[in-house]
Each structure stands twice: as structure tokens, then as C-alpha cells.
């Protein structure tokens, strides 16, 4: 006979004579099994609540973390020890439901409130639950504050750990410096081509026959192209040694190896965490099974359904207790592993952050060297024109005529009349 | 019977009774012919000098020339009219020798001193003869002073008129400006190639994924190559319009035509001069023939060798006189033509001199434009680097981290311990 859903106005008296603590009521399930409900917290249990005490609250937010590998500890160390409490006293409030059964009063019995959620084996507080978290490094947009969650792949169901995002950023940075180096290399080629062309033209014999002061100015003009070529060649050489090469060789191959090491280390810790989580789930299930077994046996005793002795119940109760201890141990191991992963995440992401700052500053420094070389080049180039200016200023047609006439005249004796 | 050489101490008396003017002596040639000598001027003649008067001296040096076609007259105008004198009074002193005979007294009779020489039909004073010539334009090394003589071709016997040397200089000048223009054209090609390469590289996607303030600086750096390309393209365009083209088109084809005109005009005058000179030589020979004929006839009369009448002698004398007049006319025409050539030479060579000054100044001006453009280019080029400098100065690793983290973070909720 299935019991009708009953209202909350049930007896506060236990049929077995034990008084219920205040706020507790007892009901009968459709199967005729008695169960107990705490009207204020909406907890439900098969067990008589007379022997339960309030289990102390576990701290929900972790406020501490290890200092950096390099010794700076700007994060507040507010460690709170993990609390252990007697499983038998613990409210099964975190069970989703009394095991195995239909929720006794769907309408009345609310779920024990979920305050945490485990995603990909990492446990987070749910929004609005637990004490508010402060950033580890407020106002710094630090890597260690923003990459805890795994990133979902928009298309599929795979996800990328936040740490991988940071690693990819590093690899991209290395790629960027390589591409910048290539760009400079291309510039060098252009400069060398330009210099080669100018140098070749400066040797041209065009108008070489121009003489005098104009000829000198012209000769210097042609030579100035060679001087310009030298300037550009010098520019390209310095570009190579002071910009291209440094950009290319900054953080050679060891860098990638180091990144791989970080990658594997963090990934291993996640794998360990996953394994620990599996153990927790397994232990949880084992405990649930043991508890169900105990309940069933206890009920059967109460309704005199079998010849189970008190011994059987005690055995079931022991197993249940053990399973509870196992669960506790598993959860502890899980939490330790998670802490370890947490510490490594903070340390390593801070290291990556530092590397990125250094990368940006290195590139900035060398690109400034590029602009310095450009300024220099333009100035040196200016100076190649000055001797030409000077000689052009000295161009003197009268002087050139004198020089040419002295060289080329045919005779200055003027003709005279013929005599008869 | 050949007469012995007689001394100068001859009689001052004529066998025919006429008294000799003072300073004249008479002698007898080996053939027995009487001849007369002026002891001071060393003139010799067959004719009795009693009816001769001193012929006035012809001016030996031409001190004048026409003003320039353009009206300036910096040369002193000291015209001396051509003197004409009665041929019959003229001393034949300028004859090389009394015609047809051996010099009567070689030892005593000196050649009439040569003071002028005609080379290629142009008549010049011999060195040291005649009044000293002053330069038409002293201290200026002017074309009009130094190109009177024809220039001998070192290998052969051809010669080049001085004027041709001046013309060739002009043609060479035109060639020089053309070659300079070609040089500039080559520079333009080099600049365009450079600009093209820079522009292409500026579009490169290398390191385009760099973000934040560093990304901005890098983007501007790449763009600055395009700005540089624009600067060089502008340079090459201005080189074309302000240097190459003017140099090429300065004094287009008309210049060569004008030079040809000068060339032909002067050459024609030389041809005329040559033709006049030929006439003079012809007239000289004709006179010599006539005079010889007269002498022979006179002698024959004196030694009663034939029955020639006085009439024949008079006829011969008349022909002789006419031949003398012809010669005078020819020499006058020659001198006029030479004067004309002289004037044209002065005018035209001054014109060429002016053209050369203009050419040099034009080239100087446009080469200065070249150096101005170079200066400009280097300055504009400098300015393309400034925005890059500015952005590099603003590179801020912290800002870049903030931007990137805001964009790419996976989650800031930190993990917490799992509850049991």
C-alpha cells in the first residue's frame, strides 16, 4: 500500500516512544517506512534524529596559497585547517536524496542546498555560496587569478585547461619574436639591394667629361651615391647584429623545453586529481550502499520483518562507519592533491607572467634600437650631401672658362690687313 | 759678260744725266742692266727714282673691331681708313725681288723684311713685328681672344678652325647635360625600386598577431616602411620634374640648329676669304708678269737690241699700271672680307661664351635642386620614425597583460576543498 502524500502536520511523537528534537517531524512512506524531516532545514533521514548533533560547517573558501617559488609572498596566508568531524554525527545533508527511494515528499522536501560544484574533477564554490573570494593580486590582472576554469571548446565538448591557454600565449610570443626577426631580415635585404644599386650607379661614366669647377661638383655628386650606399650598408649590418639576431636568438630552444616541463608537471597533477576524484566517487557510493544496508536492516528489526539479530545491525553499522572513514580519507587525499595543483598553478602562472613581461620589454628595447638606427642612418645620409653642396657653391663659370681656354686655345694673335 | 759684284761705292750720278735723289745709288747688274738702290730703306728698283716720292706707310696692325651684335662695345674703336696711294708712286719695296732677275748685290741687298704671314688664307703679323696687340678683353680669358689660329691635327695635315673648337665645346656641353639627365633617371629608378620594396614589406603579416601596446607599436613600425616608401617616391617624382626633365630639355633641338647656323656662317666667310686670297695671288702674278715684260722691253730699248718703239713701252707700262691697280683692288677686297670674318668671329664667340656661362649656371642651379631634394628626403624620412618611437615608449607590459587577460581568461573562481 502506497502511502498518500502526507502533510507536514504529522505527529511529533515517534511511535517507538523516543521524543523527536524540536522542529523534527516523522512521516510514513508509501512503503510504510518511517522517515524523519527537519522542518526548518528540510533535511530528510531514515534515522531517528534524537542522537544527531549539528555537524560543524566546513570552511567553504580556501583563503591561503603557498608563496611563490622565488620567495615573495604577497598573497595573505590565512590558512584554516581542514576540519574533521565524526562521520556518524554528520548530517547526510549533502546527499542528494535518501538513498534508493523516491523522494518522500517531493513537494516539501527540498534538496540539500548545493554550495559547490566539481567540474572536470576540480571543485569550485557555486555562485553566491560561501565567503566572497578576493583576488590573489588585486588590480594586477595577474595570470594566477584568472585561469582556474577549463575553457570550453566552442564547437565540441573538449575543454582546455586555463594553464594551457597561458602556455599557448607563451608559444605564440616566441613565434612573434621569430616573425619580427624575419621582418627585419627582409628589411636588411632591401637595404642591401638599395646600397648595391647606388654603389653601381656612382661608378657611372656619365658626364665624366665635364671639367672645371662644375666637373668637380658633378664628380662629388656621383661619389655621394657611393657614400649613401655605405650608410645604408652600415645600417643593414647593424640591423642584423643589433635587432634581427637578438630577436631571433632570444630564449633559444631551451625555452620550449622549459615550457614543456611546466606543461607536463601541471598536467600530471590534474591527472592525479582526476584519479583522486574517482576514488572519492567510489567511496561515496560504497558508503551509500553500506548506509542503505544499515537502514534496511534497522527497519526490518523495527517492524519485526526478519530474524536479524542486533549483531547483524551492529555489523552493518560498523561497515557503514568504515565506509564513512574511507570516504573521509579519499576526500582528504583529493583535497591535498587539489591544494598541490593549486600551488603549482599559482607559482607557474606567476613565472609565465614574468616571462611575458620580460619578452615584451626585450622586444621593446630592440625595436627602439631599430628606430635609433633609422635616425642615425638619416643623419649620416644627410652628411653625404654636404660636400656636394659645398662644391656646387664653388661652381664658377669664369674660372671654368679660364681653365678650358688655357687648355684648348688655338692662338691669340689676331689677324691684320694684308699689305700689297 | 757677267759683271763683277760691285761695291756700294758707286756713282751717285746717272749715266743718263738725271740726278738721283739723296740716299739713292745706281749700280749695274752682271747683265749690264742698271738698277737703283735706296741705301737707307734698302729698296731696289729698275726705275730711276727721281720721279718717286716716299709712299706713306700702311698701317700694319688693325686696332679696331665692330661692337657686338647685342650692342655692347667694350672694344676700343680705333678705325684707320685703308689708304690708297698712286700705284705709280708706290715703291715696289714689298716685292720680294726685282722681277725675273738674280738679286743684283746679294751681299748688299737685303730682302724686304717680312712682317706678316698668311696661313690658311688668314693674315697675321709675325712675332715681334708691328705694334704689340692687346687682348680685346684682358683678364677674362674670353673666347674672342684665343681662337684666331686654326688648330693643327696632330696626326695629319688637316686643321680645325678655332671657331670649330668653340662649337665642339658647345656640343659637348649639350651632351654633358643629357648624360647628367640620364644619371638622374637612373637614380629615379633606384628610388622607385626601393620604394616598391619597402611598400610591399610594410604589408607583411609577420607578427600581426602581436596585441596590446606592443602590437600597436609593431603595427606602426610596419606602417612606417610604407611612409618611407612614400617619401622616396615623392623624392623620385621631384627628381624627375625638377632635375631630370629640365636638364634634358634645356635648349632643345633648336640649339643644335642655331649652332649649325653659326657654323655655316663663319665657314662661308672663311671660304670667301680663301677665294679673295686666290684672287690676290692671281693678281700678284699678273702684275709680276706685266712688270717683267716692261723691264725687258725697256732694257731692249736701252741697249738698242730691237726696233721696239716707245709706243710698245708705253703700252707695256700701261698694262703694268693696270695690273698694279687690279692687285690693289684684290687686296682691298681681301681685307674687307677678312674684317667681316673678324667681326663675326668676335660677335659669335662672345655669344658662345655667354651660352656656356648660362649652361654652367643652369646645371649648377638644378644640381643644387638635387641636393635640396636629398636634404628634404632625409628629413621627411626621419619623421616617419617618430610615431614608432612614440608608441614604443608607450609599450606597457602590465597594460598588455590586462588587455589580454580580460579577453582570454577562463575563470576567476578559485577551487575550494571538497566537502564530504
A50-59, A336-345, B171-180: segment of lowest average pLDDT:
A50-59
- Cα A223 → chain centroid: 58
Tell me the CB-side half-sphere exposure of residue B415, using CA atoms within 13 A.
29
Print the SS3 string covering A83-137. Answer: CCCCHHHCCHHHCCCCCCCCCCCCCCCCCCCCCEEEECCEEEECCCCCCCCCCCC
- Tell me the three cell numbers of residue B307: 726696233
A41-45, A279-283, B77-81, B406-410: segment of lowest average pLDDT:
B77-81
Q: In degrees to the nearest 10, what's the CA dihedral of B32, B36, B41, B43?
A: -70
Tell me the CB-side half-sphere exposure of residue A253, using CA atoms within 13 A.
0
Rounded to 5°, angle at Cα B284 from B281 and B290: 145
A145-154, A199-208, B25-34, B202-211: segment of lowest average pLDDT:
B25-34
Name residues whose C-beta falls within 8 Å of residue B389's C-beta, 6 or more positions apart in sequence. A368, A371
Which candidate from A62, A364, A385 shows the least CB-CB separation from B375?
A: A385
Could you give the ipTM of this predicted complex?
0.73
pLDDT bin (cut points 50, 70, 90) of residue B393 is very high
pLDDT in tens, B50-104: 654 443 333 333 433 333 323 333 333 333 333 333 333 333 333 334 433 444 4
Pick A155 or A343 by higher pLDDT: A343
**What pLDDT does residue B50 have?**
62
Pick B265 or B105 by higher pLDDT: B265
C-alpha dist (Å) from residue A329 to A213, A342, B311: 101, 20, 174
Distance from C-alpha of B249 to C-alpha of B180, rounded to nearest angstrom = 12
Distance from C-alpha of A144 to C-alpha of A140, rounded to nearest angstrom = 10
Using a CB-CB cut-off of 8 Å, the residues of chain A touching B385 are 371, 374-375, 378
Pick B40 or B417 by higher pLDDT: B417
H or E element: which one contains A329? Answer: helix A310-393
pLDDT in tens, B309-324: 778 888 999 999 999 9
**What pLDDT does residue A221 have?**
98
Q: State whether B367 and A388 contact (CB < 8 Å).
A: yes
Name residues whose C-beta falls within 8 Å of residue B155's C-beta, 6 or more positions apart in sequence. none
- Tell me the three cell numbers of residue A138: 588585486
Answer yes or no: are the C-beta atoms of B27 and B35 closer than 8 Å: yes
Name residues whose C-beta falls within 8 Å of residue B257's C-beta, 6 or more positions apart in sequence. none
Query: If you measure CA to CA, which chain A residue comes closest to B168?
Result: A408
State the nearest Cα–Cα gap between A19 and chain B, in angstroms: 29
Q: State whether B378 and A374 contact (CB < 8 Å).
A: no
Q: For an interface test with B, give the residue of A189, A233, A364 to mutate (most B CBs within 10 A).
A: A364
Counting residues of chain B whose pLDDT is more than 90, the rounded percentage is 62
Q: State whether B402 and A150 contact (CB < 8 Å).
A: no
Pick B80 or A389 by higher pLDDT: A389
Using a CB-CB cut-off of 8 Å, the residues of chain A touching B389 are 368, 371
Name residues whose C-beta falls within 8 Å of residue A288's C-beta, 6 or more positions apart in sequence. A95, A99
Mean pLDDT of B195-214: 98
Long-range contacts at A109-115 (CB < 8 A, ≥ 24 apart): A109/A37, A109/A42, A109/A44, A110/A42, A112/A42, A112/A43, A115/A60, A115/B419
Q: State whether B338 and A59 contact (CB < 8 Å).
A: no
What's the whole-model pTM score? 0.72
Rg (CA), chain A: 44
Mean pLDDT of A371-385: 96
Q: Hey, how many other C-beta atoms are within 10 angstroms of the C-beta on B395? A: 22
H or E element: which one contains B279? Answer: helix B253-302
Tell me the CB-side half-sphere exposure of residue B246, using CA atoms within 13 A.
16
Using a CB-CB cut-off of 8 Å, the residues of chain A touching B411 are 146-149, 162
pLDDT in tens, B347-381: 999 999 999 999 999 999 999 999 999 999 999 99
pLDDT in tens, A67-90: 332 333 333 333 333 333 333 333
Pick A21 or B223 by higher pLDDT: B223
CA neighbor of A368 nearest in space, from A242, A190, A228, A226:
A242
Amino acid at each position: 500500500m502506497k502511502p498518500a502524500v502526507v502533510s507536514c502536520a504529522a505527529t511529533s511523537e515517534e511511535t517507538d516512544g523516543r521524543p523527536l528534537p524540536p522542529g523534527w517531524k516523522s512521516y510514513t512512506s508509501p512503503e510504510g517506512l518511517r522517515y524523519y524531516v527537519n522542518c526548518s532545514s528540510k533535511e530528510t533521514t531514515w534515522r531517528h534524529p534524537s542522537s544527531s548533533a549539528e555537524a560543524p560547517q566546513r570552511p567553504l573558501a580556501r583563503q591561503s596559497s603557498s608563496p611563490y617559488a622565488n620567495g615573495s609572498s604577497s598573497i595573505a596566508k590565512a590558512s584554516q585547517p581542514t576540519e574533521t568531524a565524526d562521520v556518524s554525527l554528520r548530517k547526510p545533508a549533502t546527499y542528494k536524496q535518501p538513498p534508493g527511494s523516491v523522494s518522500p515528499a517531493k513537494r516539501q522536501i527540498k534538496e540539500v542546498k548545493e554550495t559547490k560544484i566539481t567540474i572536470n574533477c576540480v571543485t569550485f564554490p557555486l555562485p553566491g555560496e560561501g565567503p566572497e573570494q578576493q583576488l590573489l593580486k588585486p588590480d594586477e590582472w595577474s595570470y594566477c587569478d584568472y585561469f582556474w576554469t577549463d575553457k570550453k571548446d566552442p564547437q565540441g565538448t573538449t575543454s582546455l585547461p586555463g594553464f594551457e591557454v597561458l602556455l599557448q600565449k607563451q608559444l605564440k610570443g616566441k613565434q612573434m619574436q621569430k616573425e619580427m626577426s624575419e621582418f627585419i631580415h627582409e628589411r636588411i635585404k632591401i637595404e642591401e639591394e638599395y646600397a648595391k644599386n647606388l654603389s653601381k650607379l656612382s661608378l657611372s661614366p656619365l658626364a665624366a667629361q665635364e671639367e672645371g669647377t662644375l666637373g668637380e661638383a658633378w664628380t662629388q655628386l656621383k661619389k655621394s651615391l657611393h657614400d649613401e650606399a655605405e650608410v645604408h650598408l652600415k645600417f643593414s649590418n647593424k640591423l642584423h647584429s643589433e635587432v634581427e639576431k637578438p630577436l631571433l636568438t632570444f630564449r633559444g630552444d631551451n625555452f620550449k623545453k622549459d615550457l614543456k616541463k611546466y606543461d607536463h608537471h601541471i598536467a600530471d597533477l590534474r591527472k592525479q586529481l582526476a584519479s583522486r576524484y574517482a576514488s572519492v566517487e567510489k567511496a561515496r557510493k560504497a558508503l551509500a550502499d553500506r548506509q542503505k544496508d544499515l537502514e534496511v536492516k534497522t527497519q526490518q528489526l523495527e517492524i519485526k520483518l526478519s530474524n536479524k539479530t542486533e549483531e547483524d545491525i551492529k555489523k552493518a553499522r560498523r561497515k557503514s562507519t568504515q565506509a564513512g572513514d574511507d570516504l573521509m580519507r579519499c576526500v582528504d587525499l583529493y583535497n591535498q592533491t587539489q591544494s598541490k595543483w593549486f600551488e603549482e598553478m599559482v607559482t607557474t602562472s606567476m613565472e609565465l607572467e614574468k616571462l611575458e613581461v620580460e619578452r615584451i620589454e626585450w622586444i621593446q628595447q630592440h625595436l627602439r634600437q631599430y628606430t635609433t638606427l633609422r635616425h642615425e642612418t638619416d643623419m649620416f645620409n644627410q652628411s653625404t650631401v654636404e660636400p656636394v653642396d659645398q662644391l656646387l657653391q664653388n661652381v664658377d663659370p669664369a674660372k671654368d672658362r679660364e681653365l678650358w681656354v688655357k687648355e684648348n686655345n688655338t692662338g691669340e694673335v689676331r689677324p691684320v690687313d694684308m699689305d700689297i
